[in-house]
Amino acid sequence: MKVDAVPRPPAIELIGIDKRFGRVHANNNVNLKVERGLIHGIVGENGAGKSTLMSILYGFYEADSGEIRVNGEPVRIRSSREAISHGIGMVHQHFMLVQPLTVLENVMLGAEGGPLLAAGASEIRAKLAHLGREYGLEVDPDAVVGELSVGLQQRVEILKALVRGAEILVLDEPTAVLTPAEADQLFEMLKVLKSQDKTVIFITHKLREIMRLTDRVSVMRLGEMVADFETAKTSPPELADAMVGRKVILRVEKGQAHPGEIALEARDLVVKDDRGVTRVDGMSFVLRRGEIVGIAGVAGNGQSELLEALAGIRPLAGGEILVEGRVPPPELRTPKGMRKLGVFHVPEDRHRMGLVMPFQACESAMLGFHDDDVYGAGILFDRRAIAADTAEKMEHFDVRPRAPLLKTANFSGGNQQKIVLAREIERNPHVMLVGQPTRGVDIGAIEFIHKRIVALRDAGKAVLLVSVELDEIMALSDRILVVCGGRITGERLPETCNQQDLGLLMAGVSEREHAA
Amino acid sequence: MEAFDAFIVIFASGIRLAVPLIFACLAGLWSERSGIVDVGLEGKLLTGAFAAAAAATFTGSAWLGLCSGVTVTVLMSLIHGYASIDQRANQIVSGVAVNMVADGATALIGNAWWGQGGRTPQLPDSALFNSIQLPGAYTLHDTPIIGPIYERLISGHDLITYLAFLLAPATYWVLYKTRFGLRLRAVGENPAAVDTAGISVRGLRYGGVLICGVLVGFGGTYLSIAQAAYFQPHMSAGKGFIALAALVFAKWRPLPALATCLLFGFLDALSIRLQGTILPVIGSVPVQAIQALPYILTVILLAGFIGKAIPPKASGIPYVKER
């Protein structure tokens, strides 16, 4: 007759988790409490440390320090096997499935139930049938996984965890690869799991999904856990604020812009990523000479793909790009061709696309322009001319040390970025596409880089700026386009908007809802 | 009847020529299914042959020859495994190194020990695996068709040959019916899936490499102390490479691997048989054309004319836990 009133311990408790990869502090003293039987969301931008945290929970990495408690008991999780034995199941962003094997074989892998497959197979078959009925997770056990749709493959991943007796299910960006209909199905499935007292940890950077699905939500930024809300008591703007963070407002000295004629125009652009997922979904805008247009948005909402498409790196799946009012012929839709048309590009990730780290600075400073006669006509390079040219650029951009022969990797982040900027800007572009110009750059260099971008504008060039730093966007832009889910959700002038306003648009709240 | 006899002879010879191919091909299958590409099969066949012949010469025992052959090839496999699995070396480079070392070391040591240009002395019958007459072979001698087939095609081979034929179904069984087989197939395709399932990628890959070493050791032993009665430099004569071609041709499946090796063995026997004969219409057969057939067939297969041959997806790629 006495009701059991003892509060249940949280399913998962992470206390003071710390993890470094070399110089990167991926998780900085992270605390997290996940109650049982709830759907708990973790949001944060790409690179905020969400996946690292979950990999620690799943035993993929070991934390440098900190404690993990499962159902109140302190545990050590040093391998996936130990995580599984504590009832933790993980659905990875990139599925951990063996494509040529059947569903049954994939589910059995690691839980075969004996040295011969036949014995365990019938047991797993029965379990699959049972789970299929109970949770609406039907899959043909004899189907070859590689032939299933992405949604069904994800279902197999979930089944793998449940067959192993998972009580706590971690899903890492599960909707990134799904169609909206498949995502809806997934949400229904997760709600059924919740009703069966399973705990779900749901990682995403999409606020819409958090609001729709979760009971609680924790926010990560730059490796730290910065906020924790009851979903019903928070709002997308509040979450967006917490995700993006407020920093000291940057001041950039700049005069009035004098926009001229249209330099670049995008009409109904559609761009897909390497996996065929549509990332830019019908964007249209114009970019004029003498203005800086900032693209604001939470990372991963199509900005990267937009930049790559404009620069000629990524093909268009739809729409068209006009340079100086004309559609470039297909043979010029390459990075080299677009440069010939005056469209230059500072890539978002200088390590991956902008520089070759083991190269000398002068070699990195001529990437993409190596056919230029300045560096020597014929088949041989004029090493002296290359070094002299780089020395001059280093002088103009205050690259320290001024050592054209030093290895690129030996420069600091800010100076590496200056090398990239110098390479592109010194070529006198008509249109400059700039991605994350100050990511991982120290304060002094930030100021310098901002000044150069403004100077470029004042020289009558068109600048498209993509940055996840809202302050940077607000300080530099003459116009701001906000993107969410591959669409432009609004356009603002920096003088007449505030961060809340932009935050709403970044969270995908459309203009009409916004007004209401 | 003469034609029939000729066919029996060619088939019997084809079987004998196929045996080292079968061992090497299945050895490669175990290695590559686990994700380790092994282009060093040729070198291991050669070293296995040398080690077996050397041990048989010193001890006079075929069985000790076999032990020695297998031990040496297992050690070589483990070196390749250590380079590929633990040191994440380029597997092709490591395999080529194995081939070069094998080629030079066997000739050098052979010459140092026996001074016959790297050849071992002729081995007596007692130090060889000799052919076995199966029961009933003699009584069926006079029965037409079945008699010669049983007596000369099925009976009359040595122990290692019979083992080779059992090996393909055994490989099939282990690969598709056991836990180890499932995990091995998985690790060659997606080691991360195996890792997240809580299974050691390293352990499985060493398992694959180890089995590879044992099997190719049998193949090498067969070359020197069953098929021949001595070791001589370069006696593997590209069989390790033909085995790799057969592995591709069989699309990394054990039973087709057996069939392909037999086919390649028969082609080899045919080319020997046709040496110098004048055929109607064609005239004198260029032996090289037939010898090249296995390679030509494999190239045709790779070009996509006989279905698609897709190797295990992760083979040749060292497994590194992503950050």
Q: What is the CATH number of the domain that holds B46?
A: 1.10.3470
Say if A257 falls within a structural domain: no
Tell me if residue A92 falls in helix, strand or coil: coil
Q: What is the span of the domain harbouring residue A151? A: 12-244
Please check whether residue A381 lies inside any domain of the structure. Answer: yes
DSSP structural state of residue A347: -
| Residues forming beta bridges with residue A481, ordered by sequence position | A295, A491
Within this chain, do residues A315 and A384 fall inside the same structural domain, yes or no? yes
Assess: ipTM above 0.85.
Answer: yes
CA angle B275, B15, B176 (to 5 degrees): 140
Give the start-end residues of each E strand in A3-111. Answer: 12-21, 24-34, 39-43, 65-70, 73-75, 88-91
* Contact A78/B at CB under 8 A: no
Look at chain A and report how many structural domains it folds into: 2
Asked whether residue A199 falls in the same domain as residue A325, the answer is no
- Give the separation between CA A62 and CA A53, rounded to whole angstroms: 10
Q: Are residues A222 and A288 in the same domain?
A: no
Q: Residue B183: which of B171, B159, B200, B162 has the closest Cα? A: B200
- What is the β-pairing status of strands A24-34 and B283-284? unpaired
Taking the Cβ of residue A98 and every Cβ of chain B, the question of whether any pair is shorter than 8 Å is answered with yes
Q: Which domain-ending residue is among A186, A216, A244?
A: A244
Query: What is the rounded average pLDDT of the residues B290-299?
Result: 76
Q: Cβ of B190 and A79 within 8 Å?
A: no
Both A459 and A352 in a single domain?
yes
B62 belongs to a structural domain: yes
B21: containing domain: 2-302
Residues A181 and A328 in one domain: no
Average pLDDT score over chain B: 89
Q: Is residue B310 domain-resident?
A: no
Q: Is B73 inside a domain boundary?
A: yes
Mean pLDDT of B187-204: 93
Neighbour-count burial of A496, counting CB atoms closer than 10 A to its CB (0-12 exposed, 13-18 middle, 19+ buried): exposed
Q: Would an 8 Å CB–CB cutoff place A100 in contact with chain B?
A: yes
Task: Print pLDDT tens along chain A (516 aa).
Answer: 444 556 788 999 999 999 988 767 889 999 999 999 999 999 887 668 888 899 899 988 889 999 999 999 999 998 888 999 999 999 988 889 999 999 999 999 988 888 999 888 999 999 999 998 888 888 999 999 988 888 899 999 999 999 998 999 999 988 877 777 788 889 999 999 999 999 999 998 778 889 999 999 999 988 889 999 999 999 887 887 788 775 544 567 788 888 999 999 999 999 998 878 889 999 999 999 999 999 998 877 889 999 999 999 999 999 999 999 999 999 999 999 999 999 999 998 888 888 998 899 999 999 988 888 888 877 888 889 999 999 999 999 988 888 899 999 888 778 899 999 999 998 889 999 999 998 777 667 888 899 999 999 999 999 999 988 788 898 899 999 999 889 999 999 988 888 778 878 887 765 555 544
3-state secondary structure of A148: coil
DSSP A202-239: EEES-HHHHHHH-SEEEEEETTEEEEEEEGGG--HHHH
Q: Are A79 and B198 a contacting pair at CB < 8 A?
A: yes
Residue A19 falls inside a structural domain: yes
A5 within domain boundaries? no
Cα B61 from chain centroid? Answer: 23
**A222 shares its domain with A272:** no
DSSP B85: I
Q: Is residue A360 part of a domain?
A: yes
* Counted domains in chain B: 1
Residues of chain B with C-beta less than 8 angstroms from the C-beta of A118:
177
Which one of A210, A244, A278 terminates a domain?
A244
Same domain, yes or no, for A236 and A296? Answer: no
In a domain, residue B79? The reply is yes
- Asked whether residue A255 is assigned to any structural domain, the reply reads no
- Determine phi and psi for B283, rounding to 5 degrees: 85, -145
For residue B308, is it within any domain?
Answer: no
DSSP A374: G
Q: Are residues A198 and A326 in the same domain?
A: no
H helix or E strand, kind and range, residue B41:
helix B41-59
Residue of A nearest to B180 (CA): A115
Residue with tokens 């399932």: B197
Alpha helices by DSSP H, A5-95: 50-57, 80-85
State the CATH number of the domain containing residue A470. 3.40.50.300
In 3-state terms chain B splits into helix, strand, coil percentages (rounded to 5) of 70, 0, 30
Q: Are residues A290 and A358 in the same domain?
A: yes
In a domain, A252, yes or no: no
What are the helix (H) ranges across A426-467? 443-458
For residues A435 and A325, membership in a common domain is answered with yes
Interface test with B, best of A61, A81, A98, A159 (most B CBs within 10 A): A98
pTM for the full model? 0.76
Q: Are residues A25 and A119 in the same domain?
A: yes
**A109 at the B interface (CB within 8 A)?**
yes
Which of A244, A273, A293 terminates a domain? The answer is A244
What SS3 class is residue B242? helix
| Whether residue A45 is found in the same domain as residue A155 | yes
pLDDT at residue B304 in the model: 65
Helix %, strand %, coil % for chain A, to 5?
35, 25, 40
Beta-carbon contacts of A146 under 8 Å, excluding residues fewer than 6 positions away, are: A99, A100
Residue A249 lies in a domain: no
Distance of CA B123 to the CA centre of its chain: 22
